[in-house]
Amino acid sequence: KKSFQGPFKACHDVVKPKDFYRNCLYDVCMSDGAKKILCQVLEAYAATCKKHGAVVHDWRTPSGCRKPRSSSWV
């Protein structure tokens, strides 16, 4: 979030990350840092970005979030 660089860079002007970031921070803190929650929020942001035509680069590798096996979503 600090530098707004990385895989979501092209999306930040299209879909503001502020609400996603706040929700993620709250949800992860309330679940004792559950990585599953973090991955779900990142998936939702990636899907929203793509829906609005923004290019999203590989976010799964740096975040350590695996792609769901049975889904072609995001």
Q: Could you report the per-residue pLDDT of 28-68, keeping only the tens digit for each?
A: 777 766 788 888 888 999 999 999 999 999 999 988 898 87
* Domain hosting residue 22, numbered range: 8-52
Q: Which two tokens stand for residue 74?
A: 């995001």
Q: Is the pLDDT of residue 1 over 50?
A: no
Output the pTM of the full model. Answer: 0.72
Specify if 34 maps to a domain. Answer: yes
Specify if 71 maps to a domain. Answer: no
**What is the number of residues in the chain?**
74
3-state secondary structure of 2: coil
Q: Which amino acid, residue 37?
A: I
Angle 6-1-13 from CA coordinates, rounded to 5°: 70
Q: Is the pLDDT of residue 22 over 70?
A: yes
The answer to whether 24 and 37 have CB atoms below 8 angstroms apart is yes
Specify if 66 maps to a domain. Answer: no
CA distance 73 to 47: 8
Number of domains in the chain: 1
Specify if 65 maps to a domain. Answer: no
